[in-house]
Structure 1
Amino acid sequence: MTEVGGLRMWILHVIGEFGPSNGVEIMANVQKHYDLQVQWQRKGNHIHPHHNVQSKKLLPGSVYPMLKKMVSEGLIIKQDDGKYDLTENGKIIVTNLFEHFQQRNEHINQGVLSVENSLEAMNWHASYMEELDKEEIAPHEESIELLIERLKKIKESLK
């Protein structure tokens, strides 16, 4: 949960799986899923020697600020009953990240959903990169420039 975006992904996942939930329910479900993952890693001998897979206790001081941030980012909404639910953007991210675990509704236009998922994923990655230090990004300047050029070509093709 300590990796960049880890807690955010767990929160999106449990709200997507269990539906609208209050903060206590979200904490409990994230903790349960995280503990199961740690147990699976230990049993499956998938422990990397440099990774610490000890179970960590999730604290309200981590979850509630993240919930507030996710509301401000438009990923979740706090309902009048105090429960958090996914926004349309949150649903797109959950579908994009966990689509191989979820069944898709047949009435959804797959082409549009795919484009929306791709754009949302690019926005998500751009948000991550915006938070990195300049020194971490500088070695990748050429790749960034190539991506910018490709996106410009896509935009030009729409005219």
Structure 2
Amino acid sequence: MSELIAKQKGRLRNLILWLLWQSPRRGIDIIDDIYKMTWGWWKPSPGSVYPLLAKMEEEGVIEKLDDGRYSITQKGIEEIKYLLPSRYSGSVEDAVEELKGILMFFKEVDRNKLHSHKEKILELLKLIQGVVENA
């Protein structure tokens, strides 16, 4: 096993907690999301993920919801709080630069993928516009 894969397996717990912090997921979704995040370099096996999910549930850092998805608990959030982005603490200039980067990303992304998020993006643009206009 390569050193890179060994390091990734050691990070599996934190990756799972981070993904569940974003939103509840099924085990298969976690496997698929890690595969996508690593651009196909690493796809954790069900034999790695599901026993770890069971252990994490026993420890109380995640819980299994009635619909079969897993969700992070407050205890789990405490475990990875150093990994979580804090509320934005940069300057206005930094935020404007980030918005420029997001615009460049949207210009390059597949239009079909962008279209499915069109309404939400337009809603956010209106909210930003309202904040800026009232400044």
Q: Which amino acid aligns with 2:35?
A: Q
SS of residue in 1 equivalent to 2:60: coil
CA distance in structure 1 between the aligned counterparts of 2:70 and 2:28, rounded to whole angstroms? 11
Structure 1-normalised TM-score? Answer: 0.46
Equivalent position of 1:28 in the other structure: 32
Give the counterpart of 1:69 among 41, 51, 55. Answer: 55
Contact 2:13–2:52 (Cα < 8 Å) also in 1 = yes
- Give 1:97 shift: 2.4
For structure 1, the residue ranges without an aligned partner over 5 or more in a row are 37-54, 105-159
**Change over 3 Å in CA distance of 1:76–1:65 after alignment to 2:** same
Give the counterpart of 1:89 among 56, 67, 75. Answer: 75
SS of residue in 2 equivalent to 1:77: strand
User: Is 2:17 the counterpart of 1:12?
Assistant: yes
**Change over 3 Å in CA distance of 1:56–1:29 after alignment to 2:** closer
Count of aligned positions? 83
Deviations 1:55-83 (A, max 9, x none): 23321111111111110111100111111
**Change over 3 Å in CA distance of 1:27–1:57 after alignment to 2:** closer
For structure 2, the residue ranges without an aligned partner over 5 or more in a row are 89-135
Structure 2-normalised TM-score? Answer: 0.54
CA distance in structure 2 between the aligned counterparts of 1:84 and 1:63, rounded to whole angstroms? 12
In the TM superposition, 1:64-143 aligns within 5 A as 64-98=50-84, 101-103=85-87
- Give 1:95 shift: 2.1
SS of residue in 2 equivalent to 1:96: coil
Contact 2:35–2:43 (Cα < 8 Å) also in 1 = yes
Deviations 1:82-136 (A, max 9, x none): 11001111112232222xx2427xxxxxxxxxxxxxxxxxxxxxxxxxxxxxxxx
Q: CA RMSD in A?
A: 2.1
SS of residue in 1 equivalent to 2:71: strand
- Give 1:30 shift: 1.8
